[in-house]
Structure formats: C-alpha cells, structure tokens
Structure 1
C-alpha cells in the first residue's frame, strides 16, 4: 500500500522566489490546505533567489512584458505593505547600445504607456560621466528601473505564507510526479504527498521532473555567474548617483548594478553560451567568464572596478525562445509549471499570483497568452533556438 505522507488541496514544488510567492498567493486566495515542498534547506543559497539584488524594470523589447510590468510593481507594493520591508529601490535604469538593439526597448515602453527618455552617446556621458561608450551608441533611460532585494523578497513570501497557514517541508527531493483524473501524487523518500493541484516552480531543477508527466522536456539549463568588485568610487556608483544598466553589444549583453547590499559594484554577462546537464551541475566560478566581464568593465566602466569581493555561480532555466512558460502542462488539468527563462525575479510575486490563479481558477486575468505551453518554441522539437540570438537578451 502506498505510504501517504499527507493530503492537500494544493502542492507547490520549490520554495524559491516563484514557489514561495505561489504558496503565499494560494493562501491569499482562500485556500486553507497548501503544502510547499523544498528539496534543500528552506531558503537555501543554491538556487536563483538568493544574492542581494536583481534588476527590476519596465524596459523590455516586447510589449508581452511591458504589459505586465506595471502589475509586477503593484504586487511588490502589496508585499512591502504587508511586511513593512523595502523590497524595491528605484534607481533609474539605462539600456545602452546600437540603435537597432536599443530602439525596440523605447518602442515597447512607449506603446504601453511607460515614460522613457531617448538619448545619444553625448547626452549619456554628460549625465553619467562614469560611462565610456562608442560615439554611435544610443541609450534609453527609464526612471522606475531599480533593484529588487530578491533575498528579502523570498524571505517575505515564506514568512507571509507561514503566517497564513501554509505548510513547508524542506530537505525533501521529489523523485516522481504522477497525475490521476482526481489527484496528483508527488513521490518523495518521505512518502507520497497527494494534492488536488500541483504547481511546479523548480527553476533549473524542473527538467528532472518531466518523466512522470509523460511530456517532452522543453527546458534547457545554463551556467551563469556574477561578480562584485570593491570599487574605490563608492559615491559615484551609489544608488543616488548611478542606476542599473544593460549594455546590448552586438554579440554579448552585459548588465550591472550600483553599490547595493555590499560596498561594491556588481555585473555579469547575459548570453547563455554554456548549456549544462542539471543533474551534474557545478557551482564553481569560471575564470574565462569573469575575465570577459572585467574586460568589458575596463572598457566602459573602469572606475567601477576594484579587487574582487566575490563571484557567484547560478543557473538559468531556459525555454528555446527565452520567453516565460506559465501554463498548465500539456494535457494536464491539475499540473501547472513556471519557467522564468533567466529573467523572472522581477516578476516573482506576480508570477506566484498567476500560478495560484491557474491552480484555483484554471486561468489568469493577466495577459499571459504569449507564454502558453502550446507555442512552437515549446511543442516543436525542431524549433530554432534563439538562446544566444541578438534581440532576445533578457537580463
């Protein structure tokens, strides 16, 4: 006889940024029987939801996202009100690069009513002399861009969810998921947890859970990393003097932060070259990646550099078109999945709310049709991946 460890209305897999938000919003929906399973320690540092900062912004090169960013900011405001924490720090933000790379960001912002400023390289370096750019570069500035304290946000969702009665069980890896007409069974070494619905928010571990669902795995995983430097120019790169930035080069995309969380600057590269097997991942930092980022910084933001404070490796969970996947799993009535494609932290609370809506109501009031399961990027095994194609850079 199957060892039933517990029965719940709703089960969430993963207690990171998205999973903890999903658990909280399920409780807010009125659900009184919610379980969140975590394979590691609760609020561990191996996933994508730790570290001090993530970029939050309206600026995207597609209205698919700029149509959602306003709701994302509003949702974070609700979490700040509920906890008394400051989770979003507005610094303003720049998208910099050649016109054909940067122009679509201004177009998408303007199309959805988000104000922005376009400027040439001369105006950019006059306002922010920290920058050295090509004469042909242009920039788009958006005043509401800033920093999401992703570590505090994850802690906040867990605390709120616990206070609302959500059960968290950590150190419990899932070995198999089986869906039946009237339930979903989640198999672990602590027994089988049975739920009416299941929300999979496993990030880069999600690909390992598809076998029991009988569907093709559409998610790839890449090795990524960031670095902090102890700049001597703290005031020039403070949040009062300098904002978040994304530099869209022809072959690479770089992103970075002012001083926040630590007395140093932070930057990384955002073009997933290094696809890996998630079952044999390594958290080792790769020197060639760091040298490439530091070479960029010496050329464009030399005063931001200093001795390395530390570097951190992480992973992206990626769809072939680098767009979100938020939907019921193909053929399923009870299992939903979220894939953030390496740029979801800024949307974490909103996506948790949407995942809760999918579980409770079967659909969402938010405009998520572009991120459905039945698009070619997910269903067509011959879809031409755009993971490293210019224009799909989503830092």
Structure 2
C-alpha cells in the first residue's frame, strides 16, 4: 500500500483489535491502519467461532462495575450495521452444594454490589425453569436474564467492515517484525510488507503479544494453552435453540465446563474452560484431544443427556492468559514507550471485545479512558512479581486452580 504514515495503528485484528479499529475509525476516519499477520477472520488464535458467551455475572467488582458497558458497545455496532450480534438467551452459573457453591455466592455478591439483576435457583427451581437438566437436586445456580451469546465471527466482520466504511485501512498477511521509537516520539512498525509510522500503536496480538513487544524490551508474563470446543448433533434440536435454552457455566472442583445453545450451525456447543495443554503459537496444533472430548460427553450424559448426539466436529483455539487470569490494559511508559498501548484478554475477553476496543481508542486519542481500568495495569503483583503463583480459574483458585507456573516458565 502506498500510504505509510498514520495517526494510529492496531496490530492484530481479532476480536479486540477489530473493535479498536472500529472505534478509532469513528473519530479519525482514514487515520487508522489495522495490521493482521494472517487473513481477516482466521482461526489461528482465540477470536473466531459461531458464538461466544456474554454475561453480566462475574466474580469481582473490577468486572461487574463496567460489564453493562460492553453490551452498550456492541449495540453501537449493531445500530450502525443493522446486524444483530448479541442474543440474550439467559445465562446460568451452576455449582454443586458443598463443593463449589462458594463460587456461585461470590458471583452473586459481585453482581449484587452493582445492582445487576439475578435470580438464585436451588436445584429444584433450576430444573423447573429449564427441564432439560437432570440430577440438579444437589446443585445451586445463579440465573441472569441478560446472559447470552455473541456471534463472534459476525462481530469481527462487522467491526472491520464498518471501520473500512469510515476510511480505515487494513492490511492482511503482514507479520510485524519489530517496533522502534523515532526521535520525534512516533513509533515505526516494521513489517514484512514495509514500515509504517504512527503517533500511537495498539498491540492486540494475542498469543503473539510478546513477539511484538520484545523488540521494545517489554514482556508480559502470559502462558498460551490449546483449548477446544465440541459441537454435538443433538436429536432434540428444538430443546436447545437459543430461544429455549441459556448459556451455562458449570463450576466443578476439577474443571469449569461451559455450553451454548444452537447458533450458526445445528450443534450444541460444549467445552472445558482453560483445560488444555500449555503450548506456544508456533507449537500448537489443530488436532482435537479425544480425552477432553470424552470428558465433555461424560459431563453432558450426567446433567443434560438430551443434548447428547454424534460429534459434528471439535475445533481448537488458543487462550493467552495472565497469571491471575485478569486483563492487561496499559501503556508501555515504564519502558519509555508511552505511545505503545497493549491489551491482553486473559482467555475470557471476547464478551468484552467491543468495550475493550472503545477503551483502547480513548487511551490512544485522549490519553485516558472514562472507564475504571486501574485493576488491569502492569503494576499489579501478578504481572510484576515473577514468583506469583499462576492460576487458571477466573477469580484465582476458587475452584482449586491448577498451577501452570513451571510449564509457563519452561515452555514460553
């Protein structure tokens, strides 16, 4: 492309990056460039699929105090595009009494602190509300009517297309080699397709985050895992459409399971949260793990047998997680690169992608954001302390988080 100088550049155009590109373009038009190392809409990272969970239920006020704004951010793109992205089919957080019900209580308390509506369901009420479930007598659940799913692939495409409509440029198949700071304070992005210069650069590169940041002496302690979801061809299709069945997360003492109703294909979607092996972006493969497939089938057999059916397919993706499983949203000013802005979604950010894109655009253009992101800076112990104990569950080791510290140090 002929133009080489922009006001703002976004590196990585997945869920968060495409949203950042969109929000930047709303204010600066053609002054923004998105750079993607693969093709737009690729499935190499963690941003692609038919559906992703969206919910107001979260374990900590750092999230619940801004969670409503992520719905509003998606609504902006829906209004401009005329495309429905968020489907509120309801959401459940299910826990077993005496094992993980403390987790459900923590979620309920965090929601109550922000006046977010929810309903506490003992096991009999859970089955009464959703008769598809079985053997719920020893369980409790937190139900939220605003939970649901985001059409992930559609959201990414809409953000990119609206950004282009505002004048933004996007270049694909363009890996970034390094960043350098110029004497005038601007940043040059060195790529396989030449160099591009800008006032501010936003790095939303997922599993490739440190490959970009390493050139300016910045390292975020993240570990990458290869995750997967399985789509089941349930014969009881009508019982699991999103008009009749919610998304749900099941907190067990060993793994967190999650499931979504039919959307985008005829499959009922089931997965294990953060249950995959530690890999790198270069060493991962796309081969499903039959052991984790079986765990999903065994789980469904116990609590939701009518959802069982033949495996349509299993799809892999990557989680790029911080040691405390919380976001990183910050600038690299500590290393003398205040014009480099970074965002890591810690393996649970797609539901937040529209809002995170807005936050990043405000940081780039205004130098600050209206949203409270103090808990997500690099100053916290989980990022600055190399001895911090790594956990894989949202909210720490509430459900007996597994320690990946040794794996992440030796393999990443």
Q: Please classify the TM superposition score into its range, dividing by the shorter chain length.
A: over 0.9
Q: 1:279 to 1:296 in 2, by over 3 A?
A: same
Aligned-pair RMSD on alpha carbons? 1.7
C-alpha displacement of 1:184: 1.1
Q: 1:393 to 1:195 in 2, by over 3 A?
A: farther
- Alignment check: 8 A CA contact 1:270 1:393 kept: no
Distance 1:199 1:315 in 2: 20
C-alpha displacement of 1:224: 0.3
Correspondence 1:232-243 to 2 at 5 A: 232-243=235-246
| 1:200 equivalenced with 2:224 (yes/no) | no
- Alignment check: 8 A CA contact 2:255 2:275 kept: no
Deviations 1:48-88 (A, max 9, x none): 22211000110011111111111111111111100000101
Distance 2:399 2:59 in 1: 8
Distance 1:146 1:166 in 2: 31
Q: 1:243 to 1:66 in 2, by over 3 A?
A: same
> Could you tell me which of 369, 374, 383 is aligned with 2:374?
369
Distance 1:55 1:83 in 2: 21
TM-score of the superposition, structure 2-length normalised?
A: 0.91
Residue of structure 1 in register with 2:160 after alignment: 158
> Could you tell me which of 81, 85, 88 is aligned with 1:87?
85
Unaligned runs of 5+ residues in structure 2 are 402-412
Residue of structure 1 in register with 2:398 after alignment: 391
> Could you tell me which of 275, 280, 302 is aligned with 1:277?
280
Correspondence 1:14-29 to 2 at 5 A: 14-29=12-27
SS where residue 28 of structure 2 aligns? coil
Distance 1:66 1:354 in 2: 16
- Alignment check: 8 A CA contact 2:251 2:399 kept: no
- Alignment check: 8 A CA contact 2:179 2:215 kept: yes
Residue of structure 1 in register with 2:59 after alignment: 61
TM-score of the superposition, structure 1-length normalised?
A: 0.95
User: How many pairs align?
Assistant: 391
SS where residue 193 of structure 1 aligns? strand
- Alignment check: 8 A CA contact 1:221 1:275 kept: yes
SS where residue 236 of structure 1 aligns? helix
Residue of structure 1 in register with 2:307 after alignment: 304
Residue of structure 2 in register with 1:112 after alignment: 114
Bigger Cα displacement from structure 2, 383-392 vs 309-318 = 383-392
C-alpha displacement of 1:105: 1.0
